[in-house]
Chains A and B, each alone.
Chain A
Amino acid sequence: MFFLNHKRPDAYEQMIDMIFSEEPYRTRYAERMATPWLDLARYGDTSGIHMDAGRSIWPWRDWVLESYRDNQPFDQFVIDQLAGDLMDNPTQNQIIASGFNRNHVTSDEGGAISDEYLLMYAVDRTNTLGSVFLGLTVGCAQCHDHKFDPVSTEEYYGLLSFFNNNEEPGVYSQIPDPYRAMEPAYEILRPEDRERMEELERYLQATIEERDTPTPDEAQGIAAFAKDLRAEGNWSWERGRIGHTSSSHGAILKLQPDGSLLASGTIPDVDDYTITLSTNATGLRSIMLEIMEDPSLPYGRVGRAPNGNAIMSGISAEVVSQADPTQKRPLDITWAWADVEQPNSDFKVVNSLRSDDGRVWALGGHEQSGDRVALFTTREPFGYEGGTDVIVTLHFHSVYAKHSPGRVRLQLGRPNEDVLDRLPSARTNWYIVGPYTTGSNAEHYDTAYGPEEAGPLRFDKKYRKQAWRYAPGVKEAENVRLAAGSGAEYVGCEIYVPTARNMNISLGSDDGIMVYHDGELVLERRVNRGVAADQDQLELDLQPGRNTLVCKVVNTGGQGGIYHREIIPESTIPGDALAFVVPDDAVADTTRTRAEAAWRRTYSTGYLEAEAKVQETQASLAEMKQGIPKTMIMQEREEVRPTYVMMRGAYDQPDMNRPVTRGVPAILGSLQTDEVPNRQDLARWLMGEENPITARVTVNRTWEMLFGRGIVETVEDFGYQGSWPTHPELLDWLAADFRDSGWDVQESLKTILLSATYRQDSRVNPLNAADPNNDLYHHYPRQRLTAEQIRDQALYVSGLLIEQMGGPSVKPYQPDGLWQEVAMQQSNTRNFERGMDKDLWRRSLYTYWKRAAPPPSMMALDAPTREYCSPRRITTNTPLQALVLWNDEQFVEAARLAAQRIMLEADSDDARIDLLFQRCTGSPPSPAIAAAFHETLVEYRQKFGVDSERATQLVAVGEAPIAEDLPAAELAAWTMLVNAVLSSDAAIVKD
């Protein structure tokens, strides 16, 4: 169209200049140019190996786009990417650019060995450098020398040593945040962001201080509360005398002056500590367990595990009369509380009330310092007249080997009934069985699938092939999503209370619910509803000790859900404030602070206001941080890691007799520096006078982009094994011209674009016989568009394309389940959440690239997986490509939208057919094709007219709104026509 409106002889050149200089063309140009660079740089949005964790390095991608758009000289473009971080006072952009060398895959596999991966990363960077800038496959020299290969193994490692010094771990571990920039990383802050953030942080500190400082009134109230709680007759404590102690698996327990026992000697995988306390007291009804830190333990923490952590799987106790040893009985422990419970899984202290099921209380010793304290109550008072031996056994049996605590102390307590009544209930986490989906809704209500049975939750049992599983998502006072679709799902927990009492629970469910207390049906609601707070109220008559609560939620369709909340009486002591029960010397400062906060939250209004302010500030700070882009960068280690020749390329076989020095292979030249060269020297040499190769390799790739084949066909290999250039002088001339232009990428492109060779017709002509391979370019070589171009073109002609440069990657349409079927359970990119609105219609280079399951339509159309440097895409022609173009929701929607546009823009069938073909292929249809369109249109019109149901279904595909005033049958017919053109050769081939 441009030429129809611009009839001047230099119209073509003008158009090129316009593309380079005017929006939106220059952004489109940048997006076109960046795609092959992303292939070379192996850009992706996940780490690639094992968890395939999400990561953030899109700011680097955006930097590439900006560089192309602004026509940054190519030598700067390269130097910034190879050594931006090493510049004197690097700009933010230069630091971001260094991410080029971070795009490789990384591992987070549990058993992986760091050294192996550190070498692998350095090898990847070295080989990528060779392929991208030197047209050299240096990788062969990794293992040993080759007779005819000019690059020796020594030289290979000399090159590698530039890249073997990054401040990075060899093996990462996944964190929940899928937008993490794997370290070394860089936060992209504008100066005003930095100021605002610092200001917020200062304000937050102030509000926290305000919140955590009790007013004199509060301090007085707290002191009185604590004093009262521990007063004789309320809940007093005594230590007793330590008698016999033992470890079941041979650890040594030594009595310390403070009455604690310190473990030493062997650290068995599992253990049990038995401790005998002698006391003359009676009326005892509680046990306090302190687990204390000690310098002799790993990291000085509470546990004996190598990371300082510990667990407890169970506690049991018995009492023996000293006066009459035949009088003895086991203690029934009814309730537990602890000041610290490791938060990341099912690790509550109540788990230790049952030692039969593998669940444990975990102390989080590896994460948090400080002593731990736990309280337990018994059903009956204990203590014989004439003295008692209290024999307590602590169990440490679990899959977590060696997680026994290092130092423990016991105390015995005498709470009165009133205090016990005021203790909060202790609840396990929630567990789920189900859904059970076969059968009708009525059957789902009426069938007892088994989990509602009386007694404790049975984790070892299968109920119709399904078992209880921990459900971390079920949280107090939240609407929780359960399985979708018709079926029954059980949600259960155990509630422990020290004394008999009534408990009020408020419930909600989607849809109906049946509640069982220890096997007995206590609530039944057969309703159809969405979940909301407080739909049903329930009063439970709890017995001391364990009570099992199982809710069966029957979902009659759509999303299922549950809501629950305990209504806590005002007299109840708030959970954290229980720390006041504990004598001052037995409780950690952090626990004390939390206890004070809990007291103030319940009994003082000022605290709530202060806390709201803190939360508000934290939220705005978090939101701000979330919004700050992070990206992965290069950062040199302070002390240079020595590099050796690795025998047979193996990470664990450095040849200590052959340390290498940084340098370039002799055949390519040498670096002229006085000091030890770094990446900057390497990059400057690469783009310097001495090295002609990079210019050649680069223009050859430009040529390949434009003609589908390089002057040297093996664009990544200019060596002996590569193919011979078809036009060596031309290649040299273009390379020299490129360099002499000041590495002007657009100038270099323009030179080729203006050539007669580029502008000629693609038809095969009589010269074919003389030049059958078209080595002499007697016609322009037709090429199929790239995967990205094909999708983007469909979006463009449909009018859906959102032209917006840069930003985090987006998730457009893709079939369900593709991520899940390959991902590990714990992977933070296991669940694909499709984007909304604009995200569905961005250019393909912004599509989120999960390496273990790349976008399937892109893969079908020959995009590389981006796991390693790919200098060339090989175009194939397969039936799966046809299926994408016909049936991918993205393409069907695009066809419908293109049809809508055409119908709104033109009135007659003729005009519409013309417009359709012109728009999708760039030229009008021949009379024969136009006739074929007419014929097909008539047929579709008839078919969809008769069967309007089908027409309605077809035009409903995709999220884009339907033009209401267009008849569905007509729109469906045109949609099919567009679908035909967009999948035809005329649309997807450049000629």
Chain B
Amino acid sequence: MAQRPITDKPADPLEEYLCNLTRRRFFGSMATSVGAGLGMSALSSLMADGAQTAITTTEGAKEILANLPHYAPKARRVIYMHMEGAPSQLDLFDYKPVLAERFDEDLPDSIRNGQRITTMTSGQDRFPVAPTMFKFDRYENNEDGVMLSELLPYTGAIAHELCFIHSMHTPSINHEPGITFFQTGHEQPGRPCFGSWMSYGLGSESRDLPAFVVMITQGYGNMQALSARFWGSGFLPSEHQGCKLRAGRDAVLYLRDPDGVSRDDRRKMLDLASKINEEEYGKSLDPEVTARIAQYEMAYRMQMSVPELTDISTERPETLEMYGEDVKTPGTFAANCLQARRLAERGVRFIQLYMRGWDQHGNLPGEIRAQCKAVDQAQAALVQDLRQRGMLDETLVLWAGEFGRTVYCQGPLSETNYGRDHHPRCFSLWLAGGGIKPGISYGKTDDYSYNVIENPVAVHDLHATMQHLLGLDHTRNTYRHQGRDYRLTDVHGNVIKDLLI
């Protein structure tokens, strides 16, 4: 990819660096530099280049990682659509026809069972049942079919590819701790997020894109806060933090050369900087210098590969049509779904899409309709598109919010308007591809979609299972920090074998 004519150079600086790296590591002479750039990736270089590099043994990354992957991986990458604000399982996935007859009845104490609730509704003197106002339809899957809300017709049409879990639960009842927990396995800020752990554990397959990319879509309802911590690397080296891909001209921060600077100007500047760097290397023999040369070359390539990535003019009209009208408006969920596929094609390891606006404390029917309209067609198109290109089997797709919503109404209740508070005791999500059993439903909740009554799945279990599919033993993908080996699953997590093909 490098555009520069190499005539007087013995080798591409990148290759030279990788040779050095391997040799140096081989002799174990590495540990002087804490966090030696690329070396911190546990499995391979973050900048994969065909060369499978050896494993570093710095203070953080433990030698045990040298055995990676722990299993033959089913999935090579993850596309994780996070529905921020927590979509209502009752209005989308968790079909409870009996509730229709219990409109405005009080939630039985035996169901709530003294469970804590947020201070937004703890002052209510009644907890009246609010059945969903939406019709559910049966869609074909690999079992007896699955009931889904009328709001999700496109998703229904691909139900045979999806694995629904209705028995998720989480300890958090508010957004900040809830999202933090879902992303990092811990409610308090400070730990690395899922994507960072995967970047650390698996590295990247892309030569010119980061291993972990995040995209954000603004929602149509009550939008909860996001924070850089949700895609932050915590105590892992910062190279594992999510790289935001943004709508508009500057898809990656600082990607664009200043006005007036041409590609060729940048090349010349980079050649000059490389000469200085090479001289520094000659003086110091510090491998960090060669690493820097290689990183700068990658930056130069990214400046070309990212605009190419975000330019969708080469997509076939049928493909664009499949994602829906919004796909041409940058930043929409549809546009980001298409980007997700394009990133997956280019070897990005962990692709995360945030969709804001699911926090429907009041006026739920109106808002959820708008939210579903924005995501339904596009998310189904993404799964289909991956299938059509033969990529679904190696791409693990996750669609989830941070918790569920209450069966009881928050605020005024009518047949066609109601609100729902946060509910951590059960919620629904779906997975697809990447070694997940397609077309099944897993786990059950009680009649009120309040408590899990069969096959509970904790967030840590989900993390363990997804890592398993990526070839990682979640108990061994660890990092030593402050005297302790940390992992995404903390001290918990079981692989849910029933979900695996």
Contacts and interface: CB of A to CB of B under 8 A. Distances in A.
Contacts of B250: 815
Given A764-B284, A773-B31, A717 B483 contact: yes
A892 B256 CA distance: 12
B280 A980 contact: no
Contact of B174 (A111, A720, A821): A111
A879 B298 contact: yes
Contacts of A399: 362-363, 411-412, 419
A886 B299 contact: yes
A867 B412 contact: no
B273 interface: yes
Contacts of A961: none
Interface stretch (A47-55, A183-191, A387-395): A47-55
B225 A877 contact: no
Contacts of B475: none
B97 interface: no
A936 B269 CA distance: 8
A772 B210 CA distance: 31
A950 B190 contact: no
B226 A822 contact: yes
Given A399-B362, A886-B299, A951-B260, A827 B252 contact: no
B265 interface: yes
A672 interface: no
Contacts of A980: 269-270, 272-273, 276
A877 B412 contact: no
B202 to A, nearest CB: 17
B108 interface: no
Interface stretch (A252-260, A528-536, A604-612, A848-856): A848-856
B262 interface: yes
Contact of A111 (B36, B120, B218, B298): B120
Please report whether the interface of chain B is mostly helix, strand, loop or mixed according to DSSP: loop
B367 interface: no
Most A Cβ at <10 Å: residue of B59, B261, B289: B261
A867 B189 contact: yes
B401 to A, nearest CB: 15
A195 B232 CA distance: 48
Interface in A392-446: 397-399, 401
B250 to A, nearest CB: 6
Contacts of B457: none
A290 B271 CA distance: 80
B464 interface: no
Contact of B225 (A822, A867, A981): A822
A889 B272 CA distance: 21
A883 interface: yes
Given A881-B295, A882-B295, A887 B227 contact: no
B238 A876 contact: yes
Interface in A106-129: 107, 109-113, 120
Contact of B35 (A874, A933, A956): A874
Contacts of B316: none
B312 interface: no
Contacts of B275: 928-929, 932
Contact of B238 (A49, A821, A874, A984): A874
A887 B258 contact: yes
Nearest to A820: B218
A208 interface: no
B482 A876 contact: no
B343 interface: no
Contacts of B273: 980-981, 983-984
Please report whether the interface of chain A is mostly helix, strand, loop or mixed according to DSSP: loop
Interface residues of A, number: 113
A954 B256 CA distance: 13
B237 A950 contact: no
B296 A879 contact: yes
Contacts, number: 300
B118 interface: yes
Contacts of A454: none
Contacts of A107: 176
A567 interface: no
Given A721-B484, A822-B226, A985-B276, A868 B190 contact: yes
A80 interface: no
A721 B246 CA distance: 41
Interface string A552-566: 000000000000000
B1 interface: no
A985 B277 contact: yes
Interface in A932-975: 932-933, 936, 939-940, 943, 949-957, 972
B185 to A, nearest CB: 15
B243 interface: yes
Contact of B259 (A815, A877, A884, A954): A954
Contact of B254 (A723, A888, A985): A888
Interface in B113-171: 116, 118-120, 123-125
Contacts of B225: 49-52, 822-824, 827, 852
Given A269-B411, A762-B284, A932-B272, A113 B119 contact: yes
Most B Cβ at <10 Å: residue of A823, A876, A940, A972: A876
Contacts of B66: none
A932 B274 CA distance: 11
B257 interface: yes
A720 B484 CA distance: 10
B259 A852 contact: no
A874 B76 CA distance: 28
A784 interface: yes
Contacts of A111: 118-120, 173-174, 421-422
Nearest to B281: A985
B286 interface: yes
Interface string A769-789: 000111000000110100000
Given A714-B59, A976-B261, A986 B280 contact: yes
A887 B411 contact: no
A178 interface: no
B211 to A, nearest CB: 10
Nearest to B218: A821
A162 B254 CA distance: 46
Interface of A: 48-52, 105, 107, 109-113, 120, 131, 137, 139-140, 267, 269-270, 306, 397-399, 401, 652, 708-709, 713-714, 716-717, 719-723, 762-764, 768, 772-774, 781-782, 784, 815, 817, 821-825, 827, 851-854, 856-857, 859-860, 862, 865, 867-868, 874-884, 886-889, 892, 926, 928-929, 932-933, 936, 939-940, 943, 949-957, 972, 976-977, 979-981, 983-986, 989, 991
Interface of B: 27-29, 31-38, 40, 46-47, 59-60, 116, 118-120, 123-125, 173-176, 188-190, 210, 216, 218, 223-229, 232, 237-239, 241, 243, 246, 250, 252-262, 264-266, 268-273, 275-277, 279-281, 283-286, 288-289, 291-292, 295-296, 298-300, 302-303, 362-363, 411-413, 419, 421-422, 480, 482-484
7 contacts: A709-B34, A822-B228, A865-B189, A874-B60, A878-B238, A886-B254, A943-B262
Given A48-B189, A879-B299, A980-B276, 13 more contacts: A113-B118, A137-B484, A714-B482, A719-B483, A764-B284, A772-B28, A865-B229, A878-B239, A886-B257, A932-B275, A940-B265, A977-B272, A984-B273
